[in-house]
């Protein structure tokens, strides 16, 4: 028995169901708040990151993820910050892969900015990862530098190529930013589809204080994105889901899929099956609410998982019906104070 393996529960714990009858089957787990980019819609240019002592160890993260799997989680998404910047993070992927082998977990995946993919793509495949999301808001190198402040565009493209070569299914995510990347929506779709990748567009969300333009000035509704794409492609509604919030259409001219994530114009709360855990072990039952539960305490207080399961159960019973995201001129403060990099992307 290694540090990632724990004694089995005496009895199989009951699945997690919130007060509105939604089964929690999808857990997004941040392994670090650190990132090698400073994207303008995600974080301030000069961030103060958490001291390492506050972060869960990889062993604690493995134990926490395994507890959720025991309670019916079928999908684990590893996030950050940039998750592949976490030292020895592949130890966690290797440990969690046993749940794929057992069949209790259906998918182990991650969201990444792509900067480290050339190093880790093949090892991710070896750990059972089959599908990943890569954030890419622009194909223009200078615009990429302005958006990310510190990112290396060529390195990201090399990472995407390495992921495809390793056999990973890649979905590109782009945040739609008014007056910034509107002219790139069609080229991004063509770039993705020419390489066999899905392309998803996301509305900017009011999370954390950022430098530069106000969120209301960045915000572009998905109706505008669809209108732009509809002028170039014949978009057909399709019944395709990945377990997340995106709703997909097919571009008939390319045969590829285009996804839309609409937390502002049409929230997807009624079918929300997700929770998020930060790298410090804080469980957020809703991305757009401040209510949270501490899981680090129960993890460290007892060697068995009884306290951890009790804390998770109590938290899920507080999962709200929906979020309260607002972006308008009268609401200058973010809906929640924490940055996306803190919650987990």
pLDDT band at 307, cuts 50/70/90? very high
The answer to whether the annotation marks 127 as part of a ligand binding site is no
The pLDDT value given to residue 340: 52
Binding site annotation covers 111?
Answer: yes
Token digits of residue 91: 């130890």
Residue 174 lies in a domain: yes
Question: Domain for residue 1, yes or no?
Answer: no
Instruction: Give a yes or no: residue 167 inside a domain.
Output: yes
For the domain that residue 193 is a member of, what is the CATH number?
3.20.20.70
Q: Indicate whether 334 belongs to any domain.
A: yes
The reply, when asked if residue 81 is annotated as ligand binding, is yes
* 35 among annotated binding-site residues: yes
pLDDT at 328: 45
276 assigned to a ligand binding site: yes
- Indicate if the pLDDT at residue 231 is higher than 80: yes
The yes-or-no verdict on residue 220 having pLDDT over 80 is yes
| pLDDT score, position 155 | 98
Residue 253 pLDDT > 60, yes or no?
yes
Task: Find out whether 42 is annotated in a ligand binding site.
Answer: yes
Query: For the residues 155-159, what does the mean pLDDT come to?
Result: 98
Confidence of residue 209 (pLDDT cuts 50, 70, 90): low
pLDDT of residue 272: 87
d(CA 35, CA 49): 9
Instruction: Give the model's confidence band at 329: pLDDT under 50 very low, under 70 low, under 90 confident, else very high.
Output: very low
| Eight-state DSSP code of residue 282 | E
Decide if 235 is inside a domain: yes
Q: pLDDT class for 334, splitting at 50, 70, 90?
A: very low
Confidence band for 30, pLDDT divided at 50, 70 and 90: very high
Q: Tell whether the model's pLDDT for residue 338 goes beyond 80.
A: no
Average pLDDT, the chain: 88
Q: Who's near 293: CB < 8 A, 6+ residues apart?
A: 282, 283, 285, 311, 312, 314, 315, 318
Q: b/e for 207-229, b at 16 or more Cβ within 10 A?
A: bbebeeeebbebbbbbebbbebb
What pLDDT is recorded for position 48?
A: 86
Domain that holds residue 109: 26-343
Q: In what order do the strands lie in the sheet with 274-277?
A: 235-237, 247-251, 256-261, 198-203, 169-176, 131-135, 107-112, 75-79, 26-30, 274-277, 282-284, 292-294
Q: Is 53 annotated as a binding residue?
A: no
- Is 279 annotated to bind ligand? no
Strand partners, 328: 331
The pLDDT score that the predictor gives to residue 215 is 55
d(CA 173, CA 158) in angstroms, rounded, equals 17
Kind and range of the H or E run holding 187 = helix 185-194
Would 6 be classed as within a structural domain? no
Is 249 among the annotated ligand-binding positions? no
Exposure of 107 by Cβ count < 10 A (0-12 exposed, 13-18 middle, 19+ buried)? middle
Task: Quick: pLDDT tens for 37-59.
Answer: 998 888 888 888 899 889 999 99
Tell me if 91 is assigned to a ligand binding site: no
Domain count, the chain: 1
Sign of CA dihedral 318, 322, 323, 329: negative
* 205 is known to lie in a ligand binding site: yes
State the pLDDT at residue 244: 79
Give the Cα separation of 222 and 213 in Å (integer). 19
- Give the three-class secondary structure for 152: coil
pLDDT exceeds cutoff 60 at 339:
no
Q: In terms of Cα–Cα distance, which of 111, 120, 126, 121 is closest to 76?
A: 111
| 63-116 residue pLDDT tens | 999 999 999 999 999 999 999 999 999 999 999 999 999 999 999 999 999 999
pLDDT above 70 (res 208): no
């Amino acid at each position: 028995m290694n540090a990632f393996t724990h004694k089995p529960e005496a009895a199989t714990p009951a699945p997690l169901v919130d007060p509105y009858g939604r089964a929690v089957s999808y857990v997004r787990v941040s392994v670090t708040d650190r990132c090698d980019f400073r994207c303008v819609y995600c974080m301030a240019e000069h961030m103060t990151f958490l001291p390492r002592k506050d972060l869960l160890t990889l062993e604690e993260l493995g134990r926490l993820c395994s507890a959720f799997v025991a309670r019916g989680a079928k999908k684990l998404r590893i996030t950050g910050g940039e998750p592949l910047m976490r030292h020895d993070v592949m130890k966690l992927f290797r440990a969690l892969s046993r749940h794929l082998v057992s069949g209790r977990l259906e998918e182990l995946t991650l969201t990444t900015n792509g900067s480290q993919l050339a190093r880790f793509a093949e090892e991710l495949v070896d750990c059972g990862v089959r599908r990943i999301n890569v954030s890419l808001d622009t194909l223009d190198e200078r615009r990429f530098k302005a958006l990310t402040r510190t990112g290396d565009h060529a390195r990201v493209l090399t990472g995407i190529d390495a992921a495809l070569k390793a056999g990973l299914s890649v979905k590109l995510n782009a945040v739609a930013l008014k007056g910034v990347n509107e002219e790139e929506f069609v080229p991004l779709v063509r770039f993705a589809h020419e390489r066999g990748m899905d392309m998803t567009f996301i509305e900017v969300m009011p999370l954390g204080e950022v430098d530069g333009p106000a969120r209301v000035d960045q915000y572009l509704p998905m109706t505008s994105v669809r209108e732009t794409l509809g002028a170039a492609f014949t978009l057909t509604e399709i019944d395709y889901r990945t377990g997340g919030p995106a709703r997909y259409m097919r571009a008939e001219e390319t045969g590829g899929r285009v996804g839309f994530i609409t937390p502002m114009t049409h929230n997807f709360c009624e079918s929300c099956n997700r929770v998020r855990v930060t790298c410090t072990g804080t469980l957020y039952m809703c991305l757009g609410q401040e209510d949270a539960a501490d899981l680090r305490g129960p993890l460290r207080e007892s060697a068995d998982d009884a306290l951890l399961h009790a804390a998770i159960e109590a938290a899920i019973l507080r999962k709200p019906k929906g979020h309260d995201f607002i972006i308008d001129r009268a609401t200058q403060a973010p809906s929640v104070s924490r940055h996306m990099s803190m919650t987990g992307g």
